[in-house]
Amino acid sequence: MKKRMKRLAAVGLVTAMTGTMLLGCGGGSGSDSESDTTSDGKVKIRFASWETGDTLDSQQECVDQFNESQDKIEVVLEGWGSDFDTKMTASMGAGDAPDVMYMWDYPTYSESLEPLDEYIEAEGEDYKNNFFEALWPYNSMNDQIYGVPVSVVTSCLYYNKDLFDQAGVEYPTDDWTWEDVAEASKQIQSKLDDVNGFTLPIGTLPYTLEMYLWSNGTAFVDEDGKLDGNINSDKSIEVFQTFQDMEKDGVLYASEESGQTEMLGGKTAMYVDGTWPIKQFDEEGLNYGIAQIPKFEGTEHSISVINTSGIAISKDSKHKEEAWEFLKFWTGEEMNKYRINTELPALKSVVDSEGLREDEKYAPFYTALDNCAGYVPASFITEGWTEIDADVQLAFESIINPSSLADVKDTLNEVVEAHE
C-alpha cells in the first residue's frame, strides 16, 4: 500500500510577493465599481491588486496619475489583500473578473486570461526585447503569454559584514560552495556567542526550494512533469542531504522565521533572500553584503528562482484595448523606477539608466537573473501541482527539522509514491 503523506495547507505566494510597493506614491485607496463608464463618459477599467494598507494607498496615487493623463479611460483600483485568490476564482467563475489584475499563478488562472502575444507584437520587437528574457516563461503557459512582467526578484546570499569581521572570517564570494558556507559558519560560531552561521527557514516554499535542485543539475520534475527519477534522483537527494548534514553538524540553523529577522538582530551571519529586505536593512543601518547563492561542487554557478509578478487582462473584459493601455503604463519605465527599492526593474532600459548593474546592492541580483534563463518551476509544467506542492513542503520540513531529520531518500520516494 502506498504511504500517503499528510497534506499541508498551501501557502499563497501572493503573501511572499507583497513587495509591489510603488515608492514615491501615496494617497487614498479605490473602491469597487458596478458600471463600466463614468458619469463623464470615460471607459471604466477595474484593476485588482493583492495589496492593502499603505502600499495600496501608494498604488492608488499612481493610478490617479494615470487617470489624470487620460481623456477616455478611468481606472478603479480594488485592493483584495489576502482574499485575492478567493475573489479572483469567484469573479472568474461568474464572468465578472476585473479587467486588469496582478497575476503570478498562471497555471491556475490562464484559461480565464487574455493571451497577450498579439498586443505585444503590435508594439514592435523592441518592446518585448526591453524586458529580460528570463521573465517571459514565468508569465506564460503553453507557449502563450498571459502577463507582462512588473518587476524582478531573484535570490542571493546576504551576509552580515560585522559578524564576519568580528570572527576574522573572509566575506563570501560568488564562487563559494556549500562546503565554504559550512566552514565559515563553523568558524563564526566558534568565535561568537549566540550567533548562527547560516539560517535556512523550515517553511521555505517548494517554489523557492527548486532553485537548489536546478543548481545541482536536476529539478522536481522533467519537461513532461514526471516526478520519479527527478525529485528523488541522486542529485536531488544530494541537495537535501547537504542541508540536513549541515543541520546535524550544527552549521545550519533551521528557523521558524524567515532569516531576515535573525539577520537584523545580529543572530545569523548568512541567509538567502530576494531584494525585499534591502530597504529595511538600509534604514536600520545594517552593515551587510550580497553574493551569489552558493553552488554545489562540480557546477559552474548557482541558479535562482525568479519571484516575479505580472499584469494580466481578463478574457471577459469588454474593454481590452483600454486595459492594455493601462497595463503598458503600469509595467512601463516610470513605474519600474518607483519599485526599485522593493522589486527590481524588469526593463533593461531602466536598469541601464539607473546604473543598477554598477550598484553593489543590486548588481548581484541581475547576475543571478542572467544565469537563470531557461529554468521553469514545476508548477508551470505539472498538472495538479498544488497537491504535490503541499507534500514537497512537508517532506522538506521533515528532512530539515531538527526534531525529525527524516531519511532523505525514503522521504522523497514517498512523495513520488503518493502521486504515481
Cβ–Cβ < 8 Å for 100, 47:
yes
- Find residue 347's DSSP bridge partners: 131
Average pLDDT over residues 363-391: 93
Residue 11 is assigned to a structural domain of this protein? no
Whether residue 226 sits in one domain with residue 338: no
Are 295 and 167 contained in the same domain? yes
Pairing outcome for strands 140-141 and 148-149: unpaired
Instruction: Determine the 3-state secondary structure of 385 from DSSP.
Output: helix
The answer to whether residues 155 and 273 touch, using CB atoms and an 8 Å cutoff, is yes
What Rg, from alpha-carbon coordinates, does the chain have?
Answer: 22
- Write the DSSP string, 246-274: HHHTTSSEEESS-SHHHHHTT-EEEEEE-
The pLDDT of residue 3 is 31
The pLDDT value recorded for residue 360 is 93
Residues 207, 294 within the same domain? yes
Residue-wise pLDDT for 127-169, tens only, equals: 999 999 999 999 999 999 999 999 889 999 999 999 999 999 9
Residues 245 and 326 in one domain: no
What does the pLDDT look like over 34-47, one tens digit per residue? 567 777 889 999 99
Closest listed residue to residue 154, CA positions, set 307, 35, 319, 329: 307
For a pLDDT cut of 70, what percent of the chain falls above it? 91
> What per-residue confidence (pLDDT) applies to 195?
97
Do residue 355 and residue 410 come from a single domain?
no
The pLDDT value recorded for residue 147 is 98
Q: What is the pLDDT of residue 39?
A: 75
203-229: pLDDT as tens digits: 999 999 999 999 999 999 999 999 999
Looking at the structure, do residues 113 and 212 belong to the same domain, yes or no? no
pLDDT (mean) for 236-250: 98
Query: If pLDDT is split at 50, 70 and 90, which confidence band does 54 have?
Result: confident
**pLDDT score for 127:** 97
Closest CA to 178 of 260, 252, 269: 252
Q: Cell digits for 29?
A: 485607496
Mean pLDDT score, 367-395: 93
User: Is residue 6 situated within a structural domain?
Assistant: no
pLDDT for 14 beyond 90: no
Mean pLDDT, residues 358-371: 95
> Residue 369 sits in a domain of what CATH number?
3.40.190.10
Average pLDDT over the chain, rounded to an integer: 90
The residue range of the domain holding 412 is 156-304+379-418
C-alpha dist (Å) from residue 7 to 105, 372, 417:
20, 30, 14
Residues 385 and 242 grouped into a single domain: yes
> Which pTM was predicted?
0.87
Q: Indicate whether 4 belongs to any domain.
A: no
Number of domains in the chain: 2
- Condensed to tens digits (0 to 9), the pLDDT of residues 60-86 reads 999 999 999 999 999 999 999 999 999
**Which residues are CB-neighbours of 150 under 8 A, at least 6 positions away?**
20, 102, 308, 309, 310, 311, 330, 331, 335, 339, 343, 346
Residue 318 and residue 284 share a domain: no
**Residue listed under C-alpha cell 527557514:** 201
Q: Which pLDDT belongs to residue 342? A: 66
Quick one: what percent of the chain has pLDDT higher than 90? 83
In a domain, 182, yes or no: yes
* Residue 42 belongs to some domain of the structure: yes
- 365 and 402 inside one domain: no
> Cα separations (Å) of 325 from 26, 47, 76, 346?
22, 12, 14, 18
Q: Are residues 240 and 97 in the same domain?
A: no
- Residue 252 and residue 206 share a domain: yes
Does residue 259 lie in a domain region?
Answer: yes
List pLDDT tens digits, range 182-208: 999 999 999 999 999 999 999 999 999
- For residue 279, give the C-alpha cell: 530597504
Cα dihedral sign, 23-24-26-31: negative
Measure the CA–CA gap between 364 and 384, rounded to whole angstroms.
34
Task: Specify the higher pLDDT residue, 279 or 327.
Answer: 327
In a domain, 71, yes or no: yes
Residues 243 and 298 in one domain: yes
Q: Does any domain span residue 8?
A: no
- List, for residues 89-116, the tens digit of each pLDDT value: 999 999 999 999 999 999 999 999 999 9
